[in-house]
Structure 1
Amino acid sequence: ATADFVDWLAVERIEGREIDIGIHRRWLDPTKPFAEAVLKPAHGALVTSATLRAGGDWDVAEQRSGAQHLAHPAQRFEAASPFDYPRQAEVLIVTDIKRGDMGALAAAYARLIVAAQGGTLGLFTAIRRLRAVHTRIADRLAREGLPLYAQHVDPIDTGTLVDIFRDDPRASLIGTDALRDGVDVPGHSLRLVVMEGVPWPKPSVLHAARRLAGGGSAYDDRIVRARLAQAFGRLIRRADDSGAFVLLSAATPSRLLDAFPPGTPIRRLTLDEAVDHARRLSSVASLGHKARETADPEGR
C-alpha cells in the first residue's frame, strides 16, 4: 500500500477454475475521491442514512461520508426514530448452533420459517452457504405450503423476487448483502429476519490495508455494526410493524449489540426457545393483520 492506494496481484477463480489474473488498485480511503469529485464542487450536499452513526459517533459518520476531507466542517443533524422499538421488535441470539454445521444451520432456518408461517427474510454472508441451505429446506417448506425464493438460485432479478415476497405473506426470501441493505417490505409480509452469523469482513489484501489504517479491530467493529444495523432495519418499516431479528451465532460479542436501537430487547437463547418466540410472533402478527384488514379491506 502507498499513502493513497492499495495494489495487489490476484487470480480470479470460478468453480475452481482459474479464468483471469490481474493487478488491482484501489483507494485506501475511497471517500477521498468522492469528496474531491462530488462534495467539493457542489454548492451543497446532503448525506443521510439511518445507520450512518451505527454504534459510533459523529467522527465515524464523517469518516464514512467523506466530510472529514472538506475545508469547512459539516453541519450535523439527527432526528429521533418514530418507531417504538422496545414494543415492536426484539433481537434473539441463538446459542446452540455449532459454527460450520451446515445441517444444523439449515434445520434452524427451516424450523424458524415454519414457526413464523413464512414472512421471513433470511440473510447470508456467503452465496455457497445460501445455496446449501436452500437445497436442504426448499422441499420441506413446499410441503408445508410455504414458498421459498432465493437470490442467486432463482433465475429472477432481485427486484422481482422482493415484489413476489412482498405480495405473499406466507412466502420467505433468502439472499445476501443486496437484501440486507436495500429491501423495503412493510407490513405483515416481513415479520422475521434471520441472519446466519455475525457479518465480519472477508479477509483480503485490501481489507487488511484499510483495517491497519482505520484502527485495527475497531475498524472491523464499525463495519459489523453498520451491517447489523442495516439488516435489523429491514424489520420495522412503519408504525404498526412488529417482528423479531434472529442471529444464529453464539459467538456474538456484546460490544456489537449497540448496533441495535436503544431499548430493543436482546435475548440469548436456544433454538427451541427462538422457535417458540417465532410461533408466538406469527400468531400475534396474524391477529393484527386480520384486524387491519377488517378495519380497512382495501388496504389503504
Structure 2
Amino acid sequence: MERPMIDPLKIDDILGAGGALSNYFTSYEERGDQIEMSKLVLEGYEKNMAEVIEAGTGIGKSFGYLVPAILHYKETGEKTVVATSTITLQKQLVDKDLPTLANALSLDIPYALVMGRANYLCLRRYYDNSVSASIFLNDIESSESKLLSWVRSTEEGVLDELESLPKGVLKSDIASDYELCLGSKCPYYNKCFFYKSRRKADGAGIIITNHHLLFLDAKKRDENDEDYSEKALLPPYNRLIIDECHNMDKNATSLFTKVLSYSSFLWEFRKLVGVKHGANANNLITLAAGHSKGTEEKAIEVIKELESCEKLFNHFNSTLVLSLNGSEQRVDRGNYALFLKKYQDSLIAIKHSLDLISATLNYIISKSAFSDEDAYIQQGITSSICTFEGFSSFILEFLNVKEFKDKVYYLVREKTRNREEVGLRISPLEVNDILRESIFDKLGTVICLSATLKVDREFDFFRHQVGLDDREILSGCYESPFDYRRNLLLLIDNGKVIYKNDQEEEYFEHATNKIVTAIKASGGGALVLFTSYKMLSYVSSRALSELDGMNILIQNGELSRSQLLNRFREDKDSVLFATQSFWEGVDIPGDSLRLLILTKLPYPQVNEPLFKSRCEKIDSEGQSSYMLLSVPSMIMKLKQGLGRLIRSKDDKGVAFILDGRINRNRDYILSQLPACNCPEDFIDESLERRIEDFLY
C-alpha cells in the first residue's frame, strides 16, 4: 500500500504567517518565494525527482529545504544527506538552523555533522605525543596547556575548533588516521570522536556533510559495486540535497584527480620509517619485522630502498622545479615526446623502486603475526603498499598515453611549508558522466541549490557540467527579495586602461589609484577581491602608505580565513584585500562591508590545463568555447562575488568593477546580474563623489 503524500499545506503551517516559525520568532516576515521553493523541494521527495533551484540571497534557502527534509523524515524515517561546499554553511546548519527548527516545531530531529576522519582528534595519538607530557603544562597560558584544556572539554573533537597548536605540533600528528586506528581495540574507543560522529550519523535523520566526502562516498560505492542501500563512508540513504552546487564541478574534479608528488611520497616515507630512522629505530617497518623471525634483513633492505626512492623523488622534483615555466603546464600531443625524453628514465627508476618496496613490505607482512593491539602496524603498512602501488600505476599511465581525449595530463607547481615542488596530475576532462552514473542515476531524490546557477536565464550550463542534462528535472528560480535598485550602486570603470598580459604593471598601477580613491571615499568598510596573488601583492603593498591610519587586512597566509573575516567584521572601517576563496562564503551584513571592489572579471585562466582542454573540445565540435564555457564560468563567479555585498534588506553598498573589459559586453553581462543602480553617465572623475553621495 502506498503511503499518502505529505500535504504541501504543512509547509505553510511552518513557514507561513501564523505558522510555527512566526509564533517562535518575535519578528517574523512570511516569504512567499521561500514557501514556494519549499513546496517544490517537497515535490521532489514525493515524485523521486532531481531538481535544480536558484534561490537568491535572502530567500531563506536553508529553511526552505530543511523543512521538507524534516517532514519527510518524520513521515517515512528516511534519511536526507545535505552536502555543502563550505564549512561555514555546514556549521550554520548544525549550530543554528537545525536547532532553531527543532525548537520551533517542538520536534526531536536527530541530525549529525559528518566530516572526514582527519578532521577529528585522535585521543590515543594525542596522549602518545610528547606534547601531552610537556613541561609547559603547568603554565595555564602556554599553548600546550590550552591544547590539553581543549582536549578535555571539547564535545565534538573537531580540530578546526583550534586556533593554534604548540610549536612543532601539526594537526596531522594528533588527527584520527585510518591507517593507525585500532578500532574497537583502542583504549579510547568509547570516547573516540570519529566513531561517536559515525554512530550519531547512523541514528540521524538529517546528515550534514561536505561535497568532498559526498563524492568520495559515491566513488567508494562505485568501486565496490555497492548501491545506496548499504553503508559506505556515509550511512545508507536515498535523498540528497546539494547546497552551494555551483561548486560541484570544481570539487568533483578535484576529488577524481590523481596526483603524484614528492610530498605525497614523503608522507608515506615518514609514516613507515619515522624521522629518526634506521634498523633499530621504533618505526612501523622494524615493529613489523619484530613480529616474526627472519625478516630483520628484509626490514633493513626496504628501509634502504625507501631512502633511495626518496632521493629519486627529490631529484625528479628538483629537475621539474627548475624546468617548469610558470605555475602549470599541460602535457599533450605537442610536447609528449619531449616530456618522455626528459623524464621517462627518472619515472621508470622511481616506479622500479616503488615496486621493489611494495614487494618487500608484502613479504614482511606475510611472515608476521600481529595481535589485536598491534593490528595498526599491519594496517599502516598495508595502506602504504596500496599507495605505492597506486603511484606505480600512475607512472605507468603517464608514460603510456595513447590519446589525449577523456583525461588531462599536466604539471602543477606548488609551495609547501618547506619547499617548492611540482606534482604530476591526471584529471578527467569532464565529471558529468561520473556524477551521473555514481549519484544521479542511483538516488531517488537529488535537490541541487545555489544562489547563482542560471546563465542566459537557463540552467543548461550547470546541468551539462554535472551530468543532469539527460534526466528529467523539476526547476525553480526565486529572486532575492532585496531592493538592489535602491541599495546597490554598481560603478564600472571606463576602460581607458585595459588589462593585458604583457602590460600588467600599467593596469596594476591604474587599479591601485582607483582602489585607494574609492576606499578613502567610503571611509573603509571595503572588501577588495583579486583573481591572483600577484596583483593582490602589488596593489596592497602600494596602497598601504596611501591608506595610512586604516586597519588594512591582507590575505597573505599570516592569518586564517576565519581570523581575517572576524577582524574585518569587528572593525567596521577596516579594509580587506583578498583573493579566490573570498569570492564566496563571506556573510558580513551591516556597515562593516559597504564597498566591494572587483579588480578583474573572474574569467578562468586561459592556459590552465583543464580549462584549456575543455575549450579545445568545445571548439573542435564547431562551437564557441568563449560563449559556452568562458563567459558562463565568469558570470557565475561574478554573481558570487557581487553577492558578498548585500546580505540583508537593510544593507546598502557600492560595487566597483575595475576591469574595463566588461564594456565590450556590458549590456549582456549586466542582464545576467540582479537589476541594480548602474549609472551610464559615470566617469572616473566622479568616483569619489558618487560613492560619498550614495553612502552618506
Amino acid in the other structure paired with 2:579: T
Question: Which residue is equivalent to 2:587?
Answer: 184
TM alignment of 1:134-283, pairs within 5 A = 134-143=540-549, 146-152=550-556, 155-203=558-606, 204-214=608-618, 215-218=624-627, 219-252=629-662, 253-254=665-666, 255-267=668-680, 269-283=682-696
Question: Which residue is equivalent to 2:485?
Answer: 86
Of 29, 52, 66, 2:467 maps to 66
Question: Which residue is equivalent to 1:113?
Answer: 519
Fraction of identical pairs, as percent: 23
Q: Check 1:54–1:175 CA distance in 2 against 1; reply closer, same or farther (3 A cut).
A: farther
Q: Check 1:19–1:208 CA distance in 2 against 1; reply closer, same or farther (3 A cut).
A: same
Amino acid in the other structure paired with 1:5: D
Amino acid in the other structure paired with 1:76: S
Q: Check 1:97–1:120 CA distance in 2 against 1; reply closer, same or farther (3 A cut).
A: farther
- How many residues were matched structurally? 276
TM-score by length of structure 2 reads: 0.37
Q: Check 1:97–1:195 CA distance in 2 against 1; reply closer, same or farther (3 A cut).
A: farther
1:68 partner SS: coil
1:75 partner SS: strand
2:477 partner SS: coil
Higher fraction of helix: 2
In structure 2, what is the Cα distance between the partners aligned to 1:126 and 1:233? Answer: 20
Question: Which residue is equivalent to 1:296?
Answer: none
Give the Å deviation of 1:196. 0.9
Larger radius of gyration: 2
2:411 partner SS: strand
Give the Å deviation of 1:31. 3.3
214-223 vs 36-45, greater mean Cα deviation = 36-45
Question: Which residue is equivalent to 1:290?
Answer: none
Give the Å deviation of 1:123. 0.6
TM alignment of 1:279-290, pairs within 5 A = 279-283=692-696
2:478 partner SS: coil
Amino acid in the other structure paired with 1:57: E
Question: Residues 91-137 of structure 1, C-alpha deviation per residue, up to 9 Å, x if partnerless?
Answer: 11111562332222212111111110011110101101101111111
In structure 2, what is the Cα distance between the partners aligned to 1:205 and 1:77? Answer: 34
The list of structure 1 runs, each at least 4 consecutive aligned residues, that deviate by more than 6 angstroms after superposition, is: none
In structure 1, what is the Cα distance between the partners aligned to 2:676 and 2:522? Answer: 24
47-56 vs 109-118, greater mean Cα deviation = 47-56
Give the Å deviation of 1:268. 6.2
Q: Is contact 2:489-2:676 (8 Å) kept? A: no
Amino acid in the other structure paired with 1:242: K
In structure 2, what is the Cα distance between the partners aligned to 1:21 and 1:197? Answer: 28
1:77 aligns with 2:476: yes
